[in-house]
Amino acid sequence: MVAVVVLSWNRREDTLACLRSLLEVRDPAPRVILVDNASRDGTVEAVRDELPGIELIETGTNLGFAEGNNVGIRRALASGADHVLVLNNDTEVEPGFLRALLDEAARRPDAGALCPKILFADPPGLIWFAGAAYDARSGYNGRHRGYREPDDGRFDEVVETDRACGAAMLVSRGVLEAVGVFDAGLFAYSEDTDWSLRAREAGLHHYVVPASRVRHRVSAASGGESSPTALYYDLRNALVVAERHVPLPWLPTWRRRVVQVSAHLVQALRSPRRREGVAAVGSAWRDFRAGRLGQRSP
């Protein structure tokens, strides 16, 4: 049995579109679990009215991406799922996406996570994720393989990836029991990198399966890839994860920190909300230095 865990925090229409696409999957038909992080836009009511077959868990508060998904993963495992697929609510899947992942999983007993090829929903026809490198010494997640390249067949081979993508990743029960779930303290962003590194440290490998395809409205919940929210969590958590998994001597540690902060400052200065973005980078640095995790303070 395969359970798909979808986490929602507002974005009602995106969530409904995601769930409807999952209901078109027949081979096999997955069990779909929607975990709602206290949406205020009528998401819960709309799902109950329009999609009564979806299993719904209401958390009552915004637990963040990491712990919100953990709630669904734990429910899936407790209910007997053999595989759990974590899927963003701002995605839509193709009907054969799950079968392609499961077939590849059967061929790869060393697999930690298997990810589909993820395409931009807009503009269509461009790749968002076909794998990604991770350089722990710099703490840089690395641009996604194939990012903004046309989906023209050049990225159609199964490849290993340094890190899985939490927007869409299939994991077996055995792997989850061995590696655990996401780190709730990270709240959002880099929780998939942290999980990927833990799995790799356990001797597992992550793969991208291009025959499985998903379309993604990128970073919709946080306001876009360069929004203040995205900049804050991406910087704070990238520093935490790098220093957790690859501690370095004093000088390389500070070099890594400077590179990370500088890169996010440049991104903030190029964003439409420049002042807020710079402030978010400053907050991320201060909270990292203070060891403050969890949700960002207002």
Q: Give the domain ranges of the chain.
A: 2-216, 228-290
**Cα(147)–Cα(153) distance, rounded to whole angstroms?**
14
Q: How confident is the model at residue 225 (pLDDT cuts 50, 70, 90)?
A: low
At 259-276, the pLDDT tens digits run 999 999 999 999 999 999
- The alpha carbon of 24 is separated from its chain's Cα centroid by a whole number of angstroms, namely 22
- Place 145 in a pLDDT band, splitting at 50, 70 and 90: very high
d(CA 125, CA 167): 18
pTM (global) more than 0.85:
yes
Confidence tier at 219 by pLDDT (50, 70, 90): low
Q: Positive or negative, the Cα torsion across 253, 256, 262, 268?
A: negative
Q: pLDDT digits over 235-258, tens only?
A: 999 999 999 999 999 999 999 999
- DSSP H stretches of helix in the chain: 12-23, 43-50, 64-78, 97-107, 173-179, 191-201, 228-245, 250-269, 274-290
Query: How far are the Cα atoms of 65, 200, 206, 231 from residue 222, in angstroms, in the given order?
Result: 11, 28, 26, 10
Q: Whole-angstrom Cα distance, residue 292 to residue 272?
A: 27
What is the pLDDT, as a whole number, of residue 203? Answer: 98
Least-confidence region, from 129-138, 147-156, 205-214:
129-138
Closest by CA position to 51, among listed 15, 7, 25: 15
Q: What six digits make up the tokens of 233?
A: 């969590």
pLDDT of 243: 95
Q: What is the mean pLDDT of residues 207-214?
A: 98
- pLDDT confidence bin for 222, thresholds 50/70/90: very low
Per CATH, is 2-216 categorized as 3.90.550.10?
Answer: yes
Burial class (CB in 10 A: 0-12, 13-18, 19+), 149: middle
Angle between helices 228-245 and 274-290 (to 10 degrees): 30
Residue bearing tokens 């992080």: 37
| 142 or 49, higher pLDDT | 49
pLDDT at 220 over 80: no
- Altogether, the residues listed in the chain come to a count of 298
Which residue, among 168, 222, 232, has the nearest Cα to 18 in the 3D structure?
Answer: 168
The answer to whether 91 and 215 have CB atoms below 8 angstroms apart is yes
User: Is 142 a residue whose pLDDT tops 70?
Assistant: no
Question: pLDDT tier at 143 (50, 70, 90 boundaries)?
Answer: confident
Q: Looking at the predicted structure, is the pLDDT value of residue 197 above 50?
A: yes
Percent of the chain with pLDDT over 70: 97
Rounded mean pLDDT of the chain? 95
pLDDT of residue 224: 61
**pLDDT reading at 221 higher than 90:** no
